[in-house]
Chain A
Amino acid sequence: ETGVTQTPRHLVMGMTNKKSLKCEQHLGHNAMYWYKQSAKKPLELMFVYNFKEQTENNSVPSRFSPECPNSSHLFLHLHTLQPEDSALYLCASSQAGLAEETQYFGPGTRLLVL
């Protein structure tokens, strides 16, 4: 248990559905991250939030929409996804978003898009 929880753990959705992934951290951190882990590809950073402000968007398609209402919660809203978006989505947090900080990861949401 790392202090970062993610729900749901598994999600199956059609291409026309709208769903949201939720991440919550209980570590008192101020930076939160979304990563995508696809089969046979490196873990890819999607978004970074620092003190609730988005500081990084790694050219992620607009069908993925992040939301960070406070430093403890991070959402990823999903809309009209494609089958190639099927992957494990990991959330992480760190103290203040500094380069040398350890990131603490959640268990991930396994997403399947049909």
Chain B
Amino acid sequence: AQSVSQHNHHVILSEAASLELGCNYSYGGTVNLFWYVQYPGQHLQLLLKYFSGDPLVKGIKGFEAEFIKSKFSFNLRKPSVQWSDTAEYFCAVNYGGSQGNLIFGKGTKLSVKP
């Protein structure tokens, strides 16, 4: 079955530390890849997405993600986190261009200590 794995349930970092959140998906065909973020008390919102072109995608607030097809991965990175990055991060995949059918990972909660 198609699935998305996020390896870390909860990550705790100090401000200025570098961040990498893992995301792997299970299918090898055409995929569209997304990272969504949910800040405390706010709606789920898009951080960045990949659907074609340069596999290194830049999003809002200094985040980026790299699509590595051979590893079925789409890891999220930020070189220096801030306290305001405290949130839950969700990786999502659309398989085979099936309209808007997104499959989400379980999410990774990021806590940044000031």
Q: Does A50 contact B (CB under 8 A)?
A: yes
Are A56 and B99 neighbours in the complex by a CB distance under 8 Å? Answer: yes
Among A2, A42, A100, A105, contact of B94 (Cβ-Cβ < 8 Å): A100
> Which of under 10, 10 to 19, 20 to 34, or 35 or more describes the interface residues of B?
20 to 34
Are B100 and A103 neighbours in the complex by a CB distance under 8 Å? Answer: yes
Are A107 and B43 neighbours in the complex by a CB distance under 8 Å? Answer: yes
Are A105 and B44 neighbours in the complex by a CB distance under 8 Å? Answer: yes
Question: With A41-B106, A42-B4 in contact, is A56–B44 under 8 Å at CB?
Answer: no
User: A60-68, A70-78, A90-98: which one contacts chain B?
Assistant: A90-98
Q: In the assembled complex, which residues on chain A have CB atoms less than 8 Å from the CB atom of B13?
A: none
Closest to A107 in B: B43
- Nearest chain B CB to A25 CB, angstrom units: 12
Q: In the assembled complex, which residues on chain A have CB atoms less than 8 Å from the CB atom of B36?
A: 105
The residues in A between 36 and 82 inclusive whose CB is less than 8 angstroms from any CB of B are 40-45, 48, 50, 55-56
Count residues on chain A whose CB falls below 8 Å from chain B CBs.
29
- Nearest chain A CB to B74 CB, angstrom units: 14
Q: Does A33 contact B (CB under 8 A)?
A: yes
Summarize B's interface: helix, strand, loop or mixed. Answer: strand
- Nearest chain A CB to B31 CB, angstrom units: 9
Among B51, B99, B107, contact of A97 (Cβ-Cβ < 8 Å): B99
- Nearest chain B CB to A47 CB, angstrom units: 11
Are B105 and A98 neighbours in the complex by a CB distance under 8 Å? Answer: no
Q: In the assembled complex, which residues on chain B have CB atoms less than 8 Å from the CB atom of A104?
A: 45
Q: In the assembled complex, which residues on chain A have CB atoms less than 8 Å from the CB atom of B92?
A: 43
- Nearest chain A CB to B103 CB, angstrom units: 7
Bound: A44/B92 CA distance, A: 11
Bound: A80/B83 CA distance, A: 44
Are B102 and A45 neighbours in the complex by a CB distance under 8 Å? Answer: yes
Contact with A along B80-107 (1 / 0, CB 8 A): 0000000000101010011111111111
- In the complex, 14 of the A-B residue pairs with CB atoms within 8 angstroms, ordered by the A residue number, are A2-B45, A31-B99, A31-B100, A43-B104, A45-B103, A48-B100, A50-B99, A98-B100, A99-B32, A100-B32, A100-B94, A103-B102, A105-B44, A105-B45
